[in-house]
Structure 1
Amino acid sequence: MAGPSGICSFEELIQSEPFTFYIGKARKEFVVHSKAIAATSWHFHALVNNGMAQSQKRSVEYPDMEPEDFARYVEYAYRYDYTVPHWTLDDPHSKIIESDVDVEEGLVSEEPEPEPVVEPETGVNVFGPGFGSRAPRPFTNESTAINSWSKKKKKSATSRATLNLRRSFDERGYLTSDEPSATMLAEFLPKENSKPEQNFTPIFLAHAHLYTFACMRLIDPLKRLALHKLHHTLLKFKLYDRRVSDVVELARYAYDNGEDRKPDGTIEDLRKLVVEYIACEVSTIGKHEAFAPLLQEGGEFVVDFWRIIAKENLSL
């Protein structure tokens, strides 16, 4: 594993000294291998190895962090990826918005192109000049034609057998869809919604929390990974009316916790992702009652939002 602490083998990693983190107000305990943590950033490398009180005690407290968020960071330290949380269901007795329709992705059903028809060797050239013209094949004599036909039939049979074997070889599989590795990789993938009652706020905020944590602890690869997963979640997200509030909560978190715009006008990456998504979906989000309080709160979000609206000449 490569990182600020250098390169070490997996054996060295799992034999490294334990380091304990106490997370949240309840001080939930996480005991991890020190080299796994130290490899993620210079911040953690110093925490584990600088000889100060925390590195000597082999423990530290993070009272302002939620255990589930820290668990994803620990997973990242070992796997360089993290499990995406699942959506939750709205209260079944909550009001159903009439415009919420279970929209399925538009699947274009295309007619398959017809396979070329290879006619028997009758002396007719199916694909002659002009592709489709039926020009007669020039045979020298009947004996030559019969010998040629016999050889081609044998070659064709051999080719089909080879193709069948190749196809069988190529399609062979040893792993099932419920293998541990397949299940783990599937849990890393961004989630997609299909029904209005699927609440995606926990998923949006999980990515945002991990991004903020990575910013504070200088873990640049984790920052990029969290943004990547959030971006792909938004790309797949079906914006039902009821789910506008999920996006509003994400925007509120980004603007409550991210850095303000720099003097040159540069917007912090998480804020930029969220405010541009809202601008792209302004025809839906801008008219929703959940969006009005976010505007009324003012601050950097309103400035960034209206700058994009004006620049792109968008309308609510």
Structure 2
Amino acid sequence: MAALSEGVFTSPQFTFSIGENNVKVTVNAAAIAQQSQALDALINGSMKEAQTGIVTFKDVHEDTFIRVCQFAYTGDYETPVFIQRPESGLPDKASSVSPPPNVDANEPGEMAEEPESEQGELAPQVHPSFGAKKKHKKISKSRFLRDLFDKKDFDVETPRLSAKCRCEVRQNSCAEEDYTPVFLGHARLYVFADKWGIEALKTLSLHKLHKTLATFTPYSARLGDVAELVRYTYDHTPDFSHEMDDLRSLVMDYLTCEVTDLIRSREFDQLLEQGGPFARDLVHMMMKRIG
């Protein structure tokens, strides 16, 4: 993502009223407007919203729009967080997110040792003709101070790594980690981006969801998480006649890889019993698999 121009930060404030609770999110108008032609028309066009500087998104979750704003300003968004469920008697495994590197930004780096002070030592009897030697000591001290200055370092990597870590996809590590909010977090971003024509965000959300699914361990207790992703996907994406929506395609590709595990899920059975586009697409994909 290209660096934001000064004009973004000096642009007028625009307020979005999000979700059923009408949570107010205020951002620079240009940051959102430059994401797509549709959003630019909404913010800078002739509609009422452009005149009042307020738009209402009733059908958008608060955390979804926050991630849209994160993307608008940084080109990335923080990965949704899983829910830690109570232990269910399954073998215990590490379940916490690996913390960012434990680096103390306030800890000083290694510095050259300063030569011992000459004030506490007895000065040797030096003949005036050796005055040049004293001058040499002053030059050495000056060089030492310069070296000390040149080697001064400031820790900029720790905050960068911390921010990057919050945006990275992580693999689930035990059956008590409910990944439903993780799956739906990426899927909801895709749906918003698809509706408003934010192609870069569509691609990024698909990329992160793919990485999440590719490393996801389908514990028996967590198959329902995948079923919820399927349900949301088919409830909120269009049913094309000659092609498949990108989110549906990604989810269906995953299902055909893991179908032997998923058929053990009661939630998955319920989806199949409902029939409709999902059952149709699954049959088509399975026919390709065995064909």
Q: TM > 0.5 between the two?
A: yes
Gaps of at least 5 residues in structure 2 are 95-152
- Secondary structure of the structure 2 residue equivalent to 1:190: coil
Report the equivalent of 1:12: 7
Deviation at residue 263 of structure 1 after TM alignment: 2.5
1:263 is aligned to 2:229: no
Indicate the SS of the match to 1:46: helix
Instruction: Give the letter for the 1:289 counterpart.
Output: R
Amino acid paired to 2:40: H
User: Within 5 Å, which residues of 2 pair with 1:246-261?
Assistant: 246-260=225-239
Q: Distance in 2 between matches of 1:277 and 1:245?
A: 14
Structure 1 residue runs of 5 or longer lacking an equivalent are 3-7, 104-172
The residue number in structure 1 matching 2:115 is: none
- State how far apart, in whole Å, the 1-side matches of 2:187 and 2:46 are: 32
Which one-letter code corresponds to 1:304 in the other structure? D
TM alignment of 1:1-316, pairs within 5 A: 10-92=5-87, 95-96=88-89, 175=155, 179-260=158-239, 262-264=240-242, 266-313=243-290
2:101 aligns with none
Q: What amino acid sits opposite 1:251 in the alignment? A: V
Q: Distance in 1 between matches of 2:280 and 2:250?
A: 15
Shift of residue 197 of structure 1?
0.5
How much identity, in percent, do the aligned residues show?
35
Deviation track 1:95-137 (CA, whole Å, cap 9, x = no partner) reads: 44x6x7859xxxxxxxxxxxxxxxxxxxxxxxxxxxxxxxxxx
**Runs of 4+ with >3 A deviation:** 100-103, 173-177
Q: TM-score, normalised by structure 2?
A: 0.75
Q: How far did 1:290 drift?
A: 2.8
- Contact 2:227–2:271 (8 Å) recurs in 1: yes
Return the alpha-carbon distance in structure 2 between the equivalents of residues 274 and 39 of structure 1. 30
Quote the Cα distance in structure 1 between the aligned partners of 2:171 and 2:63: 21
Give the superposition deviation at 1:12.
Answer: 1.6
Give the C-alpha shift of residue 291 in structure 1.
1.6
Q: Which secondary structure state, in structure 2, belongs to the residue aligned with residue 12 of structure 1?
A: helix
Contact 1:86/1:191 (<8 A) preserved: no
Give the secondary-structure state (helix, strand or coil) at the position aligned to 1:290: helix
* Alpha-carbon shift at residue 268 of structure 1 (Å): 0.8
What is the rounded CA distance, in whole Å, between the counterparts of 1:259 and 1:9 in structure 2?
Answer: 33
Question: What is the CA–CA distance in structure 2 between the aligned matches of 1:47 and 1:288, rounded to whole Å?
Answer: 43
Could you tell me how far apart the structure 1 residues matched to 2:174 and 2:249 are?
A: 27
TM-score (structure 1 length as normaliser): 0.69
Partner AA of 1:306 in structure 2: V
Judging by fraction of residues, say which structure has more helix: 2
Counterpart amino acid of 2:241? P
In structure 1, what is the Cα distance between the partners aligned to 2:181 and 2:175?
A: 15
The 1-side partners of 2:269 and 2:198 are apart by 35
